[in-house]
Amino acid sequence: MAKIIVITSGKGGVGKTTTSASFAVGLASRGYKTAVIDFDIGLRNLDLIMGCERRVVYDFVNVIRNEANLNQALIRDKHIRDLFILPASQTRDKDALTLEGVSTVLEELSKTFDYIVCDSPAGIERGAQLAMYFADSAIVVTNPEVSSVRDSDRMLGMLSSKTKRAEEGRDPLTEHLLLTRYSPKRVARGDMLSLSDVNEILAIPLLGVIPESQAVLRASNSGDPVILDKESDAGQAYLDAVARFLGENVPHRFIEEKGNWLKRLLRFKEKEIS
């Protein structure tokens, strides 16, 4: 039985697809057979981030409508043998996804895969609801910014009531917070919500902090998920987050401002005074 992970956020543009791509690569490179599914019907982007946009022939909706079988639609990743991408349809409307259709696809994937990563669309419409419905774990991607935190809280409410696990009264899915686009420098200046602020408000276990990083745009430019850029801060932060997801005890990094000791000392003094 595969473990189903939903990457969700409510708000758009916070890093769901970046996270889905990097998590899928991270899990697959640890030897777990992994499928990553784009649930954003009509606005597919996972294929671009994974660098397989020119190899898309059939998609998720084709499979649901029995126009293609699953093996025809799954695209093998160019880097990792054990990783497959199921792209969203670019042309059909989002009502093309049905509960039965999604259920059938996930069941079939579950037979042979270890992990299924569901890249949720933004919003709270059908695509987002179906992406989370069958999940065993949820990674809530949040930016340290008021609208993103509010939307994440809304998603947490939905995760605890509108999923199969909740409806059947089984153990609730496990929730993980992934704080992305974090800038320790701006936090130190008092211009950005801190990790502890967000943690206090959302009150779910922290999976990791991904620093604001130029590597993320470079990665999407080239179509190689940022986790493959092992030199970069964001890439390392994703590697850490995947390790934590798999139960390893990895200390958090990239949450303190780099910089000279004098600056830190001054800031410390200032805190003492105020």
Binding residues for another protein, per CB under 8 A? Answer: 145-146, 149-150, 153-154, 157, 187, 189-194, 197, 200-201, 270
Q: Which is nearer to another protein, 89 or 152 (CB)?
A: 152
Whichever of 67 and 200 has its CB closer to another protein, that residue is 200
Q: Shortest gap between Cβ of 145 and another protein (angstroms)?
A: 8
Residues 204 and 9: their CA atoms lie apart, in Å, by 14
Residue count (the chain) = 274
Closest to another protein by CB, 157 or 172 = 157
* Token output for 4: 């189903």
The pair of structure tokens assigned to 239 is 């590697």
Smallest distance from another protein to CB 201, Å: 5
Q: Name the minimum Å distance from CB 23 to another protein.
A: 26
Spatial separation of the C-alpha atoms in residues 233 and 230, rounded to whole Å: 8
Side-chain-side CA neighbours of 212 within 13 Å: the count stands at 13
Q: Choose between 20 and 152: whose C-beta lies nearer to another protein.
A: 152
Neighbours of 175 (CB within 10 A): 20
Least distance to another protein, CB of residue 192, Å: 6
Nearer to another protein, 4 or 159 (CB): 159
Taking the CA atoms of residue 158, residue 163, residue 169 and residue 173 in that order, the dihedral angle to the nearest 10 degrees is: -80
Cα separation, 199 vs 255, in Å, equals 13
